[in-house]
Amino acid sequence: MGTRPTTSLLCLLALALVSAAVAEDKIEFVYPDIYNDPERDTFLYGTFPEGFVWSSATSSYQIEGAWNVSDKGVGIWDTFTHEGGHVANNDNGDVACDSYHKYKEDVALMKAMGLHYYRFSISWPRLMPDGTAASLSTDGVCYYNDLINELVANDIAPMVTLYHWDLPQALQNHGGWVNETIVDRFNDYARACYENFGDRVKLWITFNEPWIVSLLGHGSGAFAPGIAEPAITVYTVTHHLILSHALAYHTYRLDFKATQNGQVGITLNTDFIEPADRSKPADIEAADTTLQFNFGWFAHPIYIDGDYPEIMKTNIARKSAYQGFEKSRLPEFTTYQKALIKGTGDFIGLNHYTTTLATNATPDVGDRNASDASYWSDQNIWSWKDPNWPGSGSSWLQIVPWGIRRLLKWISDEYGSDIPIYVTENGVSTKDVFELEDTIRVDYYKSYINEVLKERRMMFKMCSVCLSAVSLYLAFVAGLATALAEDRIEFVYPDAYNDTTRDTFLYGTFPEGFVWSTATSSYQIEGAWNVSDKGPSVWDTFTHEGGNIENDDNGDIACDSYHKYKEDVALMKAMGLQFYRFSISWPRLMPDGTAASLSTDGLRYYNDLIDELVANDIAPMVTLYHWDLPQALQDHGGWVNETIVELFNDYARVCFENFGDRVPFWITFNEPWIFTLLGYGTTMFAPGNVVDPSVKIYTVGRHIILAHATAYHTFQREFASTQTAKIGITLNSDYFEPADRTRQSDLDAADRVLRFNLGWFANPIFKNGDYPEIMKTEIGAKSAYQGFSQSRLPPFTDMEKEFIKGTADFFGLNQYTTMYVTNTTVDDSLPSQASYLTDRGVYTYRDPAWPGAASDWLKIVPWGIRRILKWLADEYGRELPIYITENGISTHDVLELDDKIRVDYYKAYINEVLKAIELDKVNVKGYTAWSLMDNFEWASGYTERFGMHYVDFNDPERARTAKASAKFYATVVAENGFPDPSVSGAPASVTVSLAGLVASIAFALFN
């Protein structure tokens, strides 16, 4: 922060005492224990993780000097300090530490201290004198290249801040951050930095403390450029800062990430805000409100949903209205801008020094007129510092070590424990006197560092701490090498032959709130194919054609759940289930697929089903599309025709409107990989008359992804304010085990096939809005030598990528089995040989020794589900909620109520899920057994049975009878897992080892 005094770099020598001082446990700062926290004032002995890195930090205006050397442009701080009257003693940064000329000495100091990283900022007016790319300075580029090269030569990595408050005066003359053109100007500047320095820079910080830029620069006028407009301009400035950050982030991601492999974040500042009285809910709310107005103002858009915190929008809109403003003084982001902003931070940079007390103020006192409006009064908060807390050389800085720990926990709770946090500034000031024995600073560092060590023991990514030490900031970066490596997730499989937990049964229970469910789909159970005004679906057509299904079976009646849904709900109630996953039949709800054909009977049926579930305390988890497309839409091309995107959105909107008040979970699509590949790449599944595995399957995949994203945004825009549902998508995949773990090509093949299967849909939705790089590379290259004029994989536009990215609140996984995979080379040089399967370049197979099921594709490999869950967590983030939305086993079409194979299958697979949660720390939130009852099993008709209830398809009443698996699953649900039988009261029925389970499955099958 700019008010901190600057003295010689030699004061760093005093900071070298910190490493020795941490061994002492005497900390002079003592506070009343208002948290009842026995650790708060206790010194914690311990070391930081291996790889803990020491660093230092500065900013350009504070140290460089050389304010008018060569063609450097004037910065706003040059103007501000030269005007006089703004800075103590009329000091300025004309010379400062003269680091422009002495950068080698600075690097030598860091080298002598053994530092590994250095955080510094680039001066925009030094690099671009008038702020535009056209004015790029050769000398400016040369200076920063020399500095970076000197750092690299001394094994010190640069952490570069793009903007640390020194805006070119030429841009300020045109309005600076108030003028929206600044967004593109900043992006041009960022691009120039990436282009010229990015080959050596792995950590970029777009802005340092934008709160200071907005509030002190444009709200109070205490900082450059000296504008005092706290009612409107501060919000306009922030709006442009956030958009500038997001655009610079995407520029790096799209144009430089692939070759430079760096990370981009932002550094935000805040005090910790302690409720004045923790017994008062109003004070607790006041503390959170202040944190949202300070930190959340920038962090909420970037790290949560692309928009400002709700409390800001509510408070400012309400106050603006009664102050006579025509609209809220807080500008709105468009839907597109929200999508652009959301998720544009690879890490959080935190500058923290002190703590403030807060209490709720009497609402709206003293700000009823437009002239009274301000950011400060918008909060309705009184804040102050306890005068008994130790002070410093700065009036605003009192020493409160425990605040940093509590703030770190708040950030982790608010923005996710998986987001890397870099504490990029922390320190204490003293008065301007010659003092080398700075005991207060030693004690400050000792106590604050120790609080970080305490919080580092918590489960979140604490990556660094940077201690502000006057002109240099001493920093240490926890796990930085690891954090950088995580930018590109390496695919590493656990050792299948040296895994001590693989075949060991784990006793234990699932987390509180774990969801237990079962599942069905509309075409497979409902029947009533032509009842009332229901329209035909592609599966009605496909089955009625004949020759497509075993025994020419169809779903005309199936389980007759259209008429017997109350019996189905009673089965679930008897099992103690909390959720039921079912799908809505699009042609039952909209006979011709359009909103104009909305069926009253269709609405009534699903309302009746949902009401029956809710009446029995069973929550609906609703799949919008489980393969039964209205035939009327297929007649116009179905998923090959891009109009399907809007038609699906209309269908989704109708579902949200009519059922959303009772539905907590929506799944847009079930297994798009299946109906894309088998429905449009082969004749195996409906529609079965569009066989194009080389081009159209990719077109279909593209339209599905866009349809999903559009429906997601429709819900967020039109329904999220009144409905609290989560929206996700269910993807399916086998786990793929490398055939030979010692062969790199097989490891690569396993990674590649997972990206072609899961990543095809998951990478755009859960990562970056685009297909996996390996898909784009492989399909593009093969398309070229096959003679296609362009890649068979249709690209997304940049706008579509931003629209798609992040459009899921959870990941639904359907998983049944595992395959071996090896690399292969096939002759597919001709256009006629092109296909999705050859694009992957792999050969897959199942070990014949693995126990099988009635389905030829389903081998019983329990450990595969644990490994794919870990792969998902490693690939898409450990905070991502995962719901297993299908898992089960088929048996042959015989009357078998004692289905021991299914009991053992569930026992083994569910236990592997427990291991994934407990041992691998995967965020699995629920498990769904497929299926509630035997049903129409697609191309296999009624020859295979997946149900926990036997359905007699020869009985017109379609009688349901519970199997042993239903009773077993009910026990697992009731006990929330597998309580240890050695503990009193626990059942002894789950003591079998996992190896024994698999052996019993094999015995049941082969004897």
Tens-place pLDDT, residues 116-144? 889 999 999 999 999 999 999 999 999 99
Does residue 429 lie within any of the structural domains?
A: yes
Q: Which of 72-81, 449-458, 628-637, 792-801 has the lowest mean pLDDT?
A: 449-458
Answer yes or no: is pLDDT of 94 > 90: yes
pLDDT at site 499: 54
Answer yes or no: is pLDDT of 981 > 70: yes
Residues 256-281, mean pLDDT to the nearest whole number: 94
Q: Band the pLDDT of 44: cuts 50, 70, 90.
A: confident
778 is catalytic: no
Q: What DSSP element (H or E) covers 245? A: helix 233-255
Q: Which residues lie below 8 Å from residue 62, measured CB to CB, with a gap of 6+?
A: 2, 6, 93, 96, 97, 164, 471
Question: Hey, what are 118's tokens?
Answer: 């250095």
Q: Band the pLDDT of 1: cuts 50, 70, 90.
A: very low
CA 377 vs CA 293, 333, 374: distances in Å:
11, 23, 5
Could you give the CA distance from residue 619 to residue 506 in angstroms, rounded to a whole number? 29
Residue 113: exposure state from Cβ atoms within 10 A (0-12, 13-18, ≥19): middle
Q: Which of 943, 929, 1006, 936 is nearest to 973 (CA)?
A: 929
State whether 434 and 539 are in the same domain. Answer: no
Does residue 504 lie within any of the structural domains?
A: no
Backbone phi and psi for residue 267, each to the nearest 5 degrees, phi listed first: -105, 120
pLDDT at site 780: 96
How many CB atoms are located within 10 Å of the residue 141 CB?
A: 18
Mean pLDDT of the chain: 88
Residue 334: exposure state from Cβ atoms within 10 A (0-12, 13-18, ≥19): exposed
State whether 397 and 466 are in the same domain. Answer: yes
Rank 187-191, 427-431, 468-472 by mean pLDDT and report only the highest. 187-191
State whether 539 and 395 are in the same domain. Answer: no
Percentage of the chain exceeding pLDDT 70: 87
Question: Hey, what are 219's tokens?
Answer: 């709200």
Q: Band the pLDDT of 997: cuts 50, 70, 90.
A: very low
Question: Hey, what are 571's tokens?
Answer: 């089965």
Q: Which of 581, 578, 584 is nearest to 616 (CA)?
A: 578
pLDDT at site 279: 85
pLDDT at site 459: 37
DSSP letters of 731-744?
A: EE--EEEES-TT-H
Instruction: Report the CATH number at residue 833.
Output: 3.20.20.80
Q: Band the pLDDT of 456: cuts 50, 70, 90.
A: low
Do residues 97 and 470 make contact, with C-beta atoms less than 8 angstroms apart?
no
pLDDT at site 741: 87
Residue 429: exposure state from Cβ atoms within 10 A (0-12, 13-18, ≥19): buried
State whether 378 and 522 are in the same domain. Answer: no
pLDDT at site 500: 55
Answer yes or no: is pLDDT of 14 > 70: no
pLDDT at site 501: 64
Angle subtended at Cα 409 by Cα 405 and Cα 415, rounded to the nearest 5 degrees: 140
Q: Which of 244-248, 440-444, 714-718 has the lowest mean pLDDT?
A: 440-444
Answer yes or no: is pLDDT of 764 > 90: yes
- pLDDT tens by residue, 103-119: 999 999 999 888 888 99
Backbone phi and psi for residue 513, each to the nearest 5 degrees, phi listed first: 90, 0
Catalytic residue among 64, 274, 414, 425: 425
Residues 179-203, mean pLDDT to the nearest whole number: 97
How many CB atoms are located within 10 Å of the residue 946 CB?
A: 26
- pLDDT tens by residue, 591-616: 999 999 999 999 999 999 999 999 99
State whether 423 and 568 are in the same domain. Answer: no
Rg (the chain; Cα; Å) = 31
- pLDDT tens by residue, 612-643: 999 999 999 999 999 999 999 999 999 999 99
Token pair 């719901």 in the structure block, residue: 883
Strand partners, 738: 821
Answer yes or no: is pLDDT of 970 > 50: yes
CA 755 vs CA 31, 734, 772, 777, 807: distances in Å:
53, 12, 6, 12, 19
- pLDDT tens by residue, 373-397: 899 999 989 888 887 788 888 889 9
State whether 281 and 347 are in the same domain. Answer: yes
Could you give the CA distance from residue 26 to residue 941 in angstroms, rounded to a whole number? 75
Range of the structural domain that residue 730 is part of: 509-1006
Could you give the CA distance from residue 1 to residue 781 in angstroms, rounded to a whole number? 51
Answer yes or no: is pLDDT of 987 > 50: no
- pLDDT tens by residue, 662-675: 999 999 999 999 99
Residues 543-558, mean pLDDT to the nearest whole number: 97
Does residue 922 lie within any of the structural domains?
A: yes
Answer yes or no: is pLDDT of 10 > 80: no
State whether 277 and 313 are in the same domain. Answer: yes
State whether 715 and 789 are in the same domain. Answer: yes
Residues 414-424, mean pLDDT to the nearest whole number: 90
Does residue 365 lie within any of the structural domains?
A: yes
Does residue 34 lie within any of the structural domains?
A: no
State whether 423 and 516 are in the same domain. Answer: no
Do residues 354 and 397 make contact, with C-beta atoms less than 8 angstroms apart?
yes
CA 287 vs CA 298, 379, 397, 828: distances in Å:
17, 10, 18, 64
What is the DSSP secondary structure assignment for residue 10, as one 8-state letter?
Answer: G
Residue of 226 and 444 predicted with greater confidence: 226
Q: Which of 235-244, 290-299, 321-330, 495-504 has the lowest mean pLDDT?
A: 495-504
Could you give the CA distance from residue 84 to residue 90 in angstroms, rounded to a whole number? 6
Answer yes or no: is pLDDT of 217 > 90: yes
How many CB atoms are located within 10 Å of the residue 219 CB?
A: 24
Q: Band the pLDDT of 901: cuts 50, 70, 90.
A: very high
User: Which of 485, 517, 542 is the last residue in one of the domains?
Assistant: 485
Do residues 212 and 223 make contact, with C-beta atoms less than 8 angstroms apart?
yes
CA 136 vs CA 129, 189, 229, 817: distances in Å:
7, 9, 32, 58
pLDDT at site 277: 87
State whether 600 and 458 are in the same domain. Answer: no
Does residue 853 lie within any of the structural domains?
A: yes
Answer yes or no: is pLDDT of 7 > 70: no
Percentage of the chain exceeding pLDDT 90: 74
886 is catalytic: yes
Q: Which of 551, 430, 447, 603 is nearest to 941 (CA)?
A: 551
Do residues 343 and 303 make contact, with C-beta atoms less than 8 angstroms apart?
yes
Answer yes or no: is pLDDT of 847 > 60: yes
Question: Hey, what are 930's tokens?
Answer: 């497929």
pLDDT at site 567: 98
Answer yes or no: is pLDDT of 466 > 60: no
- Is residue 272 left, alpha or beta, with left meaning phi > 0 and alpha meaning psi from -120 to 50? beta
Could you give the CA distance from residue 871 to residue 916 in angstroms, rounded to a whole number? 10
Could you give the CA distance from residue 91 to residue 85 in angstroms, rounded to a whole number? 10
pLDDT at site 833: 82
Answer yes or no: is pLDDT of 48 > 50: yes
CA 21 vs CA 40, 109, 571: distances in Å:
19, 21, 66
Count of domains for the chain: 2
Could you give the CA distance from residue 62 to residue 121 in angstroms, rounded to a whole number? 10
Could you give the CA distance from residue 444 to residue 856 in angstroms, rounded to a whole number? 67
- pLDDT tens by residue, 263-272: 999 999 999 9
541 residue type, one letter: T
State whether 656 and 539 are in the same domain. Answer: yes
Do residues 214 and 238 make contact, with C-beta atoms less than 8 angstroms apart?
yes
Using a cut of 0.75, tell me whether the model's pTM lies above it: no
Does residue 37 lie within any of the structural domains?
A: no
586 residue type, one letter: W
What is the DSSP secondary structure assignment for residue 89, as one 8-state letter?
Answer: G
Could you give the CA distance from residue 155 to residue 115 in angstroms, rounded to a whole number? 9
pLDDT at site 51: 63
Q: Which residues lie below 8 Å from residue 497, measured CB to CB, with a gap of 6+?
A: none
Question: Hey, what are 791's tokens?
Answer: 């890649």
Do residues 866 and 915 make contact, with C-beta atoms less than 8 angstroms apart?
yes
Strand partners, 811: 729, 882
State whether 610 and 529 are in the same domain. Answer: yes
What is the DSSP secondary structure assignment for residue 303, as one 8-state letter?
Answer: I
Catalytic residue among 64, 274, 875, 886: 886
How many CB atoms are located within 10 Å of the residue 175 CB?
A: 14
Does residue 36 lie within any of the structural domains?
A: no
Do residues 978 and 969 make contact, with C-beta atoms less than 8 angstroms apart?
no
